[in-house]
A = this chain, B = another copy of it.
């Protein structure tokens, strides 16, 4: 009894019959299953596309507005700064200045350290903390992000580039490639945003990222052994084994002064970190720690400069703001592919961190960040950065956290930070001459250790074993194979998980909960009872080419087992198989064929196949493929209850 919603009403009355189900005590009407209202292919396509690319309906503000208002909104849309600027006031400014200076004190040493992590000259790290924040503050829609270089992206860039080009041998080429990678990272990020393909980064599940981050943290820390031990000749491989071997091979080069200095400052920073974790009020303790250590260590080394020669120091850093570097971009030559690849990988990673940070604090302060706009902002920021001697930057977890704790109200705090960095660049560079590399290493280690999150991993293990497995695999991939491959493994597992779930869906036996029209999982609801001569199955997934064969086999097995059970218990023989299609949210041609075949095979065993509650698009496809017709005669009902009722009418 299929009818199109147009000629529904008249049919409807005639179908309504009031009867009683054998084991529930409420009157029940039989309703016909309707087809969804007809749509042209074009309408469907339009709807589908808007669902795929514009789920958040970004332009809803523009609807029915005057052209002037539209223009204004447009400007605000592309430059969120104009949204909050009007309401900006002095008290905002005060807190922004405080937080701005706080993150600056963190940003300067971090910048220098992370640049070294990417095998880049330290000054690049400072440059990267100056231009990008300014650009983000114009374009970004998050109010609490702290922009700058981040450890993971720095590490990955360093590792991927060092595989083919060594900084020590050809610094210029290496720098060129780093800037070009940054440019492509920006292009990639911006285009993801413009093409609204943001969902691509969703395929890095939190679980796999957790493992990836932890693995990266370990790799990074191992790399720091070079600085911590003061080893001059160090492997440029990344994996745990070669690094450790080279560490112990070079035991002769270990410098005890360096080790002592490093360990003491590391303990200092870890303690401050611990304090801030215990007392969030004292966040500034850990925020200020890196700068303090830099100052102290620099002074120390300055005083001991005669005695402690072998403590490696940063040395001369050029004064002045970012030199333009658009001329250094490398667009043809043997390494272009490498630059693009590095750009895309670092782009994805930094984007993931940036978006996550933005979303986290947006949820915390109850405003929404538009993922795609964020991508454009971060992308443009990196493109501009690549033209002003900056490498990949994004919203950094550590900075943003400090920023928020320091009471940042708007993105202005980033402008303040940038200005502080500017002052440093213009006047304070010589002060870093005696800063020992070991303290930078210590800063990195203390920063990345925070990325290893045992609680989260334990929670994964408790809640979802497969997620835990994914996490573990990406961890091992990073630690034992290589960083990009680890990432690849992470994504691969995530996708494999989906495919497995799709190709092996659940089928659940339903029973009636006494005195109700509710049919539920017999296994979950012990009071639910089977109904004689009926067998009710719920298929818990779309029926696809990927699972249609499996479902057919599985359902036939259910039927076989049910028949055996019935025979064993001498119950009335099986006459009807009701498939509850509520969770079958889609079907394709293979699925439709499977349903048809199933119906035939069951009929040969004199069992009738009945469909309960197929959703709109499934109905439509069954109708178009003419399979529906074979179900019209007592084969199609709105709910399981109605099916049972209607069929068991004497």
A541/B585 in contact, CB under 8 A: yes
Instruction: Give the residues in chain B near A506, CB-CB below 8 Å.
Output: 51, 585
* Chain B nearest CB, measured from A261 CB (Å): 41
Q: Which residue of B lies closest to A619 (CB)?
A: B524
Is A513 on the interface with B (CB-CB < 8 A)? yes
* Chain B nearest CB, measured from A56 CB (Å): 5
A550/B199 in contact, CB under 8 A: yes
Is A206 on the interface with B (CB-CB < 8 A)? yes
Is A363 on the interface with B (CB-CB < 8 A)? yes
Instruction: Give the residues in chain B near A37, CB-CB below 8 Å.
Output: 523-524
Is A41 on the interface with B (CB-CB < 8 A)? yes
Is A546 on the interface with B (CB-CB < 8 A)? yes
A503/B625 in contact, CB under 8 A: no
B547/A588 in contact, CB under 8 A: no
Size of A's binding interface in residues, CB under 8 A: 100
Q: Which residues in window 291-338 of A have CB below 8 A to B?
A: none
Is A20 on the interface with B (CB-CB < 8 A)? no
Instruction: Give the residues in chain B near A585, CB-CB below 8 Å.
Output: 505-506, 540-541, 583
Stretch in A28-36, A88-96, A245-253, A266-274 touching the partner: A28-36
B34/A601 in contact, CB under 8 A: no
Is A57 on the interface with B (CB-CB < 8 A)? yes
Is A526 on the interface with B (CB-CB < 8 A)? yes
A616/B523 in contact, CB under 8 A: yes
What does the 1/0 interface line of A353-375 toward B look like (CB < 8 Å)?
00000010001001010010000
A553/B56 in contact, CB under 8 A: yes
Is A405 on the interface with B (CB-CB < 8 A)? no
* Chain B nearest CB, measured from A36 CB (Å): 5
Q: A341–B499 Cα gap in the complex (Å)?
A: 23
B524/A588 in contact, CB under 8 A: no
Instruction: Give the residues in chain B near A545, CB-CB below 8 Å.
Output: 202-207, 494
B593/A206 in contact, CB under 8 A: yes
A588/B464 in contact, CB under 8 A: yes
Is A566 on the interface with B (CB-CB < 8 A)? no
Instruction: Give the residues in chain B near A44, CB-CB below 8 Å.
Output: 465
Instruction: Give the residues in chain B near A547, CB-CB below 8 Å.
Output: 202
Q: A593–B51 Cα gap in the complex (Å)?
A: 23
Stretch in A213-221, A408-416, A426-434, A455-463 touching the partner: A455-463
Q: Which residue of B lies closest to A462 (CB)?
A: B624
Is A600 on the interface with B (CB-CB < 8 A)? yes
Is A8 on the interface with B (CB-CB < 8 A)? yes
Is A525 on the interface with B (CB-CB < 8 A)? yes
* Chain B nearest CB, measured from A225 CB (Å): 33
* Chain B nearest CB, measured from A371 CB (Å): 7
State which of B55, B521, B548, B554 has its C-beta within 8 Å of the C-beta of A55.
B554
Is A26 on the interface with B (CB-CB < 8 A)? yes
Is A549 on the interface with B (CB-CB < 8 A)? yes
What does the 1/0 interface line of A460-480 toward B look like (CB < 8 Å)?
101111110000000000000
What does the 1/0 interface line of A563-591 toward B look like (CB < 8 Å)?
00000000000000000001101101110
Instruction: Give the residues in chain B near A498, CB-CB below 8 Å.
Output: 498-499, 502, 544, 546
What does the 1/0 interface line of A500-540 toward B look like (CB < 8 Å)?
11111110100001011110110111110000000000001
Instruction: Give the residues in chain B near A616, CB-CB below 8 Å.
Output: 508, 521, 523-524
B366/A463 in contact, CB under 8 A: no
* Chain B nearest CB, measured from A457 CB (Å): 11
Instruction: Give the residues in chain B near A462, CB-CB below 8 Å.
Output: 624-625
A526/B8 in contact, CB under 8 A: yes
Instruction: Give the residues in chain B near A549, CB-CB below 8 Å.
Output: 199, 202, 359, 371
Is A5 on the interface with B (CB-CB < 8 A)? yes
Q: A634–B16 Cα gap in the complex (Å)?
A: 34
Q: Which residue of B lies closest to A206 (CB)?
A: B590
B586/A583 in contact, CB under 8 A: no
Q: Which residue of B lies closest to A542 (CB)?
A: B501
State which of B41, B541, B638 has its C-beta within 8 Å of the C-beta of A520.
B638
Instruction: Give the residues in chain B near A363, CB-CB below 8 Å.
Output: 597, 600-601
Instruction: Give the residues in chain B near A202, CB-CB below 8 Å.
Output: 503, 545-550
The 5 closest A-B pairs by CB, nearest first: A205-B545, A540-B585, A583-B583, A524-B616, A36-B524
Seen from chain A, the residues whose Cβ lies within 8 Å of a Cβ on chain B are: 5, 8, 12, 26-27, 29, 31, 34-37, 41, 44-45, 51-52, 55-57, 60, 199, 202-207, 359, 363, 366, 368, 371, 459-460, 462-467, 494-495, 498-506, 508, 513, 515-518, 520-521, 523-527, 540-542, 544-550, 553-554, 556-557, 560, 582-583, 585-586, 588-590, 592-593, 597, 600-601, 604, 615-616, 619, 621, 624-625, 638-639
8 new A-B pairs (CB below 8 Å) besides A202-B545, A207-B545? A55-B553, A199-B503, A202-B548, A202-B549, A205-B588, A459-B625, A460-B589, A498-B498
